[in-house]
Amino acid sequence: MSAHYLDKIKAFQQQNENRYRIVISCPDQPGIVAAVSEFLYKQQANIMESNQYTTDPDGGSFFLRIEFECRQDGDTQQELEQGFRQIADHFRMEWQLVRVRHLKKLALFVSKELHCLQEILWEYQSGNLMADLAVIVSNHEDARELAEAYDIPFHHIPANKDIRQQAERQQLELLEQYDIDTIILARYMQILTPVFLENYKNKIINIHHSFLPAFIGAKPYERAFERGVKLIGATSHYVTSDLDEGPIIEQDIHRVNHKDKAEDLKRVGRLVERSVLMRAIKWHVDDRVIVYGNKTIVF
Amino acid sequence: MSAHYLDKIKAFQQQNENRYRIVISCPDQPGIVAAVSEFLYKQQANIMESNQYTTDPDGGSFFLRIEFECRQDGDTQQELEQGFRQIADHFRMEWQLVRVRHLKKLALFVSKELHCLQEILWEYQSGNLMADLAVIVSNHEDARELAEAYDIPFHHIPANKDIRQQAERQQLELLEQYDIDTIILARYMQILTPVFLENYKNKIINIHHSFLPAFIGAKPYERAFERGVKLIGATSHYVTSDLDEGPIIEQDIHRVNHKDKAEDLKRVGRLVERSVLMRAIKWHVDDRVIVYGNKTIVF
Amino acid sequence: MSAHYLDKIKAFQQQNENRYRIVISCPDQPGIVAAVSEFLYKQQANIMESNQYTTDPDGGSFFLRIEFECRQDGDTQQELEQGFRQIADHFRMEWQLVRVRHLKKLALFVSKELHCLQEILWEYQSGNLMADLAVIVSNHEDARELAEAYDIPFHHIPANKDIRQQAERQQLELLEQYDIDTIILARYMQILTPVFLENYKNKIINIHHSFLPAFIGAKPYERAFERGVKLIGATSHYVTSDLDEGPIIEQDIHRVNHKDKAEDLKRVGRLVERSVLMRAIKWHVDDRVIVYGNKTIVF
Amino acid sequence: MSAHYLDKIKAFQQQNENRYRIVISCPDQPGIVAAVSEFLYKQQANIMESNQYTTDPDGGSFFLRIEFECRQDGDTQQELEQGFRQIADHFRMEWQLVRVRHLKKLALFVSKELHCLQEILWEYQSGNLMADLAVIVSNHEDARELAEAYDIPFHHIPANKDIRQQAERQQLELLEQYDIDTIILARYMQILTPVFLENYKNKIINIHHSFLPAFIGAKPYERAFERGVKLIGATSHYVTSDLDEGPIIEQDIHRVNHKDKAEDLKRVGRLVERSVLMRAIKWHVDDRVIVYGNKTIVF
């Protein structure tokens, strides 16, 4: 594979030299937008996109995502953060300021089925996924060739329920070594322990091959076939310690009929999985997804 | 409401004076289609539409639905049935010959939410539902006005879990009195007992307000809201003694997002329910749905 | 039909006693959101929902819709407008302040096909359309019965290309008499002259029975059938003097196949028309649609 | 890329050693199905799937596709054809008997945009496209690397409107050399002359990046953006000498909104193009698509 896509990433970073995102969660009260927009105005920031949501106007939670461009050159992130702290403290905000050119570092965990990995690599190569695909981790060797074709480090770490702890130790070391922000379980098919999860809260994205909460657990296509459903689905969600119960980011479905065997459901389902996971990843790396309780807001 | 739709039904019956459907299920073996089509050819029947399906070419089940027109005038149904019996016996068929102009008699069971009833009445009035809406039954009075506007007999039979047996006795009497073929539970919201069900096997169609098997049971929209799903669904199925577990006829979904409250999910869901139930009813009255095991074939 | 829905409207108005919407269009420049939100904060207004969009961060247009609740009782609309005028002038805004409890007055124009009218009436009656259905106008008598069932004034004004001017004069008088805000062409099937249109710019909503710009003009379903398309669509748009070329508000499609005749396309298409027009009307009465150039922003 | 997919193809061929498809078009008349099924029964053929369609029961055209398995081993195709000729002549059939294990030979024509090519190669490699990808032809060099990764011969033939004749001569030679059945224009972006087309009637499949007949011709995404549509589509069709007017095989759409620029429409559209073209190709290689007039029947 040629590396033209690295040029696309560089071009993106140059275009977004002075662009930032601020993502805020706090108790709702009057004056938040006024304070934040006043602050940005004084910084001579140009607001490119702004989204907000209040769960309940009477004492609910407030969520805000603003993408803006600063006029000044250079690295103003620190100044922005210092200036904003006062507002943040006043409104008791959880907040994050992200410089757009600082791409998120992703680790891709896969197993033997590679269609989701391939979709990610492809969108990456097409310049549609602005992230740093830092490492591919698998408990099988199947993805090695693909990883090498894209010049992405590949690590084979055997994993199954008997050696789970040992495998996770190795994985955690790797994640630290590569300074990973977000883990994508692109059909990884192994359960992760709470110890592993606590280090990456709302930072691990899974694709489940059913329309959750239908067919939680193993072999969803086989069970969908047995049940005789007329639509096949896929769900992308953040991973929590409750299997398949984490906050849902995106779902989609495809129509099937009585002629489709379990094998056909799998084949059709793979297309749904690819597009659902891909949308979830893009929204995540663009900081469009906010978790509250066990749900997501997607701006 | 004016009764132009009765004219549409009459016109339909005249156009289909000589039209029949034969629906067949039997163990798969070579020669079935040859025998049936030879038979129809000898009857000078003109095949309008034919659909078939084999679950498994090696020893599976075979399903066939043929819609055809006989050249002869008059009531040839009896002759056709007599002639066909030999073939049917030879291949050990379950079969049914339906004269298209003999409309199915439907009983509509409703409760307080009337959107599904209204959709059915509307499609009926528009000449899109070729059935005989013989009676509307409810445990509430809300639908009376609508029933009267369409000149359909309305019976108020109080029902709840304490008086279930008594209510069902009254209902069964009514169904017999009106010579009912098929019962539509258009958001009826009461459980039916096995005694009731055994009289109408694969003849009771329900609409469940979720994408089954997700959110089986009560309050699916509230639970969908709690779970934070991104798609809202509805499922139409034949009723069996296992709650919400009967053979699925049709399903569909509509996209929702974090801004939608439980009340919004209900509102959007009602649109999905209307169209899903309507499609299921139309396919059923056209004899397009065949139940095998706990699944349906929809031709 | 019983008039429970009038109770629903009253309840809606009481709940929204102090609720307003402000909708703004202006040249983009820094400080707009800061100024507007500061203004609302000083009015002790609680922002319920806010949406904004910039066509182009470099010298484009800026659009903002805020729904908010004022703490004070009584009619504060005039005060709000007076207070806001200074900001509006400064940023050269086109703007509109709407009190939510003041429902828009709609005139429904229909012809012989009544499915869209029926959907509107139904959603109205279900409490899902918060508008004042002031009058139904038709060049045929078919809708009279339905109008009377809902106690909505019905006016039969014959119209065709030979008596267009005379018909429009009568219609314009009626519209004035009923103080109409918005006209819904719910399959009206007559062309309106520029004279008529200029009085209701961006206030006349049409449903076209195709996926525009495919099949502009007459008989779209017949032409879709001839072309052998695999999807049938409908488009709701504001009416301009260019036939079927006005700003699109909403579109949707439904899958069809080779078995569907032109008559089937019409039948399926009617379902799409109903839902597409209904969504467009709801967004319009909620002031969610902003026209810029020949496009719409839908917040 | 490893060549496991060649194993999948071999396995498919072995499983389908004795499997055939017969595809028939003829004037409708009674007795066709009886004759064909009687013939197959006498051959001891086991019917796996059968689909039929009549455009108009009164003097229309009849279409039939049967997939069946012969019990005998060895190459019985010639015998079947000889035996069937009498029936075919009697009913004036256009017909084709295809042995399933004889894969269609495809030539893929591409230009600079490679997303459709990549989808095809991927589905091929996954064992989901049972065809022989014999050659990739392009007027640019961009696809060479990808072709080589899959060990598919790549030919660079410069083409533009000035050298069209010369280019087509070279292409036709290549097609003959590789014994090509079907040409896939996977975003080839060059017009083909009638001379070229007449050799491959209903054998050239194109993907047009709009919901035809909307946005016929060049730059459909730009024009969709200008028009402000709310859905983006793609259309796969057989190529005829009327630009973008050939028989439509498949169409699909994806929802967009006012925030999407022309560039976003392209990005979203590429996903629709990929899946629409892929479905069309699969149906074509499975002999599921029959052209009649300017339409297709898809069984």
Place of tokens 């310049």: A127
**Letter for the amino acid at C297?**
I
All CATH 3.30.70.260 domain ranges of chain B, comma separated, are 17-99
Q: How does pLDDT run across A252-261, given as a tens digit for each residue?
A: 999 999 999 9
Kindly list the partner chains of chain C, i.e. chains with 3 or more CB atom pairs below 8 Å: A, B, D
Task: Give C26-92 as a DSSP string.
Answer: EE--TTHHHHHHHHHHHTTPEEEEEEEEES-TTT-EEEEEEEEE-SS-S--HHHHHHHHHHHHHHTT
End-to-end CA distance of chain A: 34
Angle, helices A32-42/C32-42, rounded to nearest 10 degrees: 150
List the Cα angle C194/C197/C199 in 5-degree steps.
Answer: 120
**Between A and C, how many residue pairs show a Cβ–Cβ distance under 8 A?**
51
Q: How does pLDDT run across A98-111, given as a tens digit for each residue?
A: 999 999 999 999 99
Is position C244 annotated as part of the catalytic site? Answer: yes
D263: phi then psi, degrees, rounded to nearest 5: -65, -40
| Mean model confidence pLDDT for chain B | 94
Whether residue D115 lies within 8 A of chain A, CB to CB, comes out as yes
Beta strands across the sheet bearing B94-99: B94-99, B19-27, B61-69, B46-54, D46-54, D61-69, D19-27, D94-99
**Between A and D, how many residue pairs show a Cβ–Cβ distance under 8 A?**
19
Contact between A67 and A87 under an 8 Å Cβ cutoff? The reply is no
Distance from C-alpha of A50 to C-alpha of C32, rounded to nearest angstrom: 13
Q: Which residues of chain C have pLDDT under 70?
A: 1-3, 72-75
D57: phi then psi, degrees, rounded to nearest 5: -60, -20
Choose, out of B114, B126, B278, B279, the residue to mutate when testing the contact with C (most C CBs < 10 Å): B126
Cross-chain residue pair D48–B54, CB shorter than 8 Å = yes
From first to last of its 299 residues, chain A has per-residue pLDDT tens of 456 788 999 999 999 999 999 999 999 999 999 999 999 999 989 899 999 999 987 789 999 999 999 976 655 889 899 999 999 999 999 999 999 999 999 999 999 999 999 999 999 999 999 999 999 999 999 999 999 999 999 999 999 889 999 999 999 999 999 999 999 999 998 999 999 999 999 999 999 999 999 999 999 999 999 999 999 999 999 999 998 999 999 999 999 999 999 999 999 999 999 999 999 999 999 999 999 999 999 99
Whether residue D213 lies within 8 A of chain C, CB to CB, comes out as yes
Print burial letters for A100-118: b (CB count within 10 Å at least 16), e (below 16): bbebbbbbbbbbebbbbbb
Q: Which residues of chain D have pLDDT under 70?
A: 1-3, 72-75
Cross-chain residue pair A271–D271, CB shorter than 8 Å = no
Residue D164: enclosing H or E segment and its boundaries? helix D164-177
Q: What is the dihedral of CA A232, A237, A241, A243, to 10 degrees?
A: 0
Distance from C-alpha of D215 to C-alpha of A157, rounded to nearest angstrom: 51
pTM as predicted: 0.95
pLDDT score at A1? 47
**CA closest to B52 among chain D residues:** D50
Kindly report the nearest CA distance between residue B288 and chain A, in angstroms. Answer: 12
**Between C and D, how many residue pairs show a Cβ–Cβ distance under 8 A?**
75
Q: Which of B56, B244, B252, B287 is catalytic?
A: B244
Q: Pick A230's closest partner by Cβ from B53, B229, B251.
A: B251
Nearest to A288 by CA among A123, A32, A53, A14: A53
Distance from C-alpha of A248 to C-alpha of A202, rounded to nearest angstrom: 11
Q: Pick A229's closest partner by Cβ from B228, B251, B259.
A: B251
Mean pLDDT of B279-283: 98
pLDDT score at C287? 98
Choose, out of C271, C274, C275, the residue to mutate when testing the contact with B (most B CBs < 10 Å): C271
Kindly report the nearest CA distance between residue A276 and chain B, in angstroms. Answer: 11
Residue A206 is given by DSSP the state E
Choose, out of C258, C264, C265, the residue to mutate when testing the contact with D (most D CBs < 10 Å): C258
Cross-chain residue pair D41–B31, CB shorter than 8 Å = yes
Q: Which residues of A touch B53 (CB under 8 A)?
A: 258-259
All CATH 3.40.50.170 domain ranges of chain C, comma separated, are 105-298
Q: What is the dihedral of CA D256, D258, D264, D268, to 10 degrees?
A: 0
Given its phi and psi angles, is residue B187 left (phi above 0), alpha (psi -120 to 50 degrees) or beta? Answer: left
ipTM of the complex: 0.93
Whether residue A57 lies within 8 A of chain C, CB to CB, comes out as yes
Q: How does pLDDT run across D226-268, given as a tens digit for each residue?
A: 999 999 999 999 999 998 999 999 999 999 999 999 999 999 9
Distance from C-alpha of A166 to C-alpha of A172, rounded to nearest angstrom: 10
Print burial letters for D218-250: b (CB count within 10 Å at least 16), e (below 16): eebbebbbebbbbbbbbbbbbbbeeebebbbbb
Distance from C-alpha of C18 to C-alpha of C74, rounded to nearest angstrom: 8
Whether residue A45 lies within 8 A of chain C, CB to CB, comes out as yes
Beta bridge partners of A19: A69
Q: Which residues of D touch B51 (CB under 8 A)?
A: 51
Q: Which residues of A touch B217 (CB under 8 A)?
A: none
Whether residue D1 lies within 8 A of chain A, CB to CB, comes out as yes
Kindly list the partner chains of chain D, i.e. chains with 3 or more CB atom pairs below 8 Å: A, B, C
Choose, out of C52, C55, C65, C297, the residue to mutate when testing the contact with A (most A CBs < 10 Å): C52
Nearest to A178 by CA among A119, A145, A238, A132: A132
CATH class for domain C18-99? alpha beta
Angle, helices A115-125/A262-285, rounded to nearest 10 degrees: 40
Mean pLDDT of B134-163: 95
Token couple for C262: 């032109």
Print burial letters for D105-138: b (CB count within 10 Å at least 16), e (below 16): bbbbbbbebbbbbbbbbbbbbbbbbbbbbbbbbb
pLDDT score at C1? 47
Q: Pick A41's closest partner by Cβ from C30, C44, C54.
A: C30
Whether residue D118 lies within 8 A of chain A, CB to CB, comes out as yes
Cross-chain residue pair A49–C44, CB shorter than 8 Å = no
pLDDT score at D5? 80
Q: Helices marked H in chain A — which ranges? A: 4-15, 32-42, 77-90, 115-125, 144-149, 164-177, 194-198, 220-227, 262-285
Distance from C-alpha of D199 to C-alpha of D274, rounded to nearest angstrom: 26
Whether residue D117 lies within 8 A of chain C, CB to CB, comes out as no
> How far, CA to CA in Å, does D23 sit from each of A51, B3, B264, D51, D63?
56, 47, 50, 10, 8
Q: Which of A132, A181, A244, A260 is catalytic?
A: A244
* Choices 3.10.180.10, 3.40.640.10, 3.40.50.170, 3.30.10.20: CATH for A105-298: 3.40.50.170
Q: Which CATH architecture has domain B17-99?
A: 2-Layer Sandwich (3.30)
Kindly report the nearest CA distance between residue C259 and chain A, in angstroms. Answer: 17
Contact between D237 and D197 under an 8 Å Cβ cutoff? The reply is no
Residue D167: enclosing H or E segment and its boundaries? helix D164-177
Distance from C-alpha of D137 to C-alpha of D174, rounded to nearest angstrom: 9
Token couple for D184: 């896939």
pLDDT score at B120? 98
Cross-chain residue pair A30–C47, CB shorter than 8 Å = yes
D286: phi then psi, degrees, rounded to nearest 5: -90, 10
Could you tell me how far CA C98 lies from the centroid of its own chain? Answer: 15
Q: Which residues of B touch C2 (CB under 8 A)?
A: 145
Distance from C-alpha of D129 to C-alpha of D279, rounded to nearest angstrom: 10
Contact between C132 and C103 under an 8 Å Cβ cutoff? The reply is yes
Kindly list the partner chains of chain B, i.e. chains with 3 or more CB atom pairs below 8 Å: A, C, D
Contact between A18 and A71 under an 8 Å Cβ cutoff? The reply is yes
Choose, out of D126, D250, D278, D279, the residue to mutate when testing the contact with A (most A CBs < 10 Å): D126
Nearest to B45 by CA among B79, B10, B90: B79
All CATH 3.30.70.260 domain ranges of chain A, comma separated, are 18-99
pLDDT score at B56? 86
Q: Which residues of D touch B49 (CB under 8 A)?
A: 54
Proportion of chain B above pLDDT 90, given as a percent: 88
Other C-beta atoms within 10 Å of B191: how many? 12
List the Cα angle A33/A39/A42 in 5-degree steps.
Answer: 135
Whether residue C12 lies within 8 A of chain B, CB to CB, comes out as no
Kindly report the nearest CA distance between residue C213 and chain B, in angstroms. Answer: 25
pLDDT score at C219? 95
pLDDT score at A106? 98
Cross-chain residue pair D211–C211, CB shorter than 8 Å = yes
pLDDT of B74 > 70? The answer is no
Task: Give chain B as a DSSP string.
Answer: ---HHHHHHHHHHHHTTTEEEEEEEEE--TTHHHHHHHHHHHTTPEEEEEEEEES-TTT-EEEEEEEEE-SS-S--HHHHHHHHHHHHHHTT-EEEEEETTSPPEEEEEE-S--HHHHHHHHHHHTT---SEEEEEEESSSTTHHHHHHTT--EEE----GGGHHHHHHHHHHHHHHTT-SEEEESS------HHHHHTTTT-EEEEESSSTTTT-SS-HHHHHHHHT-SEEEEEEEE--SSTT-SPEEEEEEEE--TT--HHHHHHHHHHHHHHHHHHHHHHHHTT-EEEETTEEEE-
Residues of chain C numbered 127-146 and touching chain B (CB < 8 Å): 128, 145
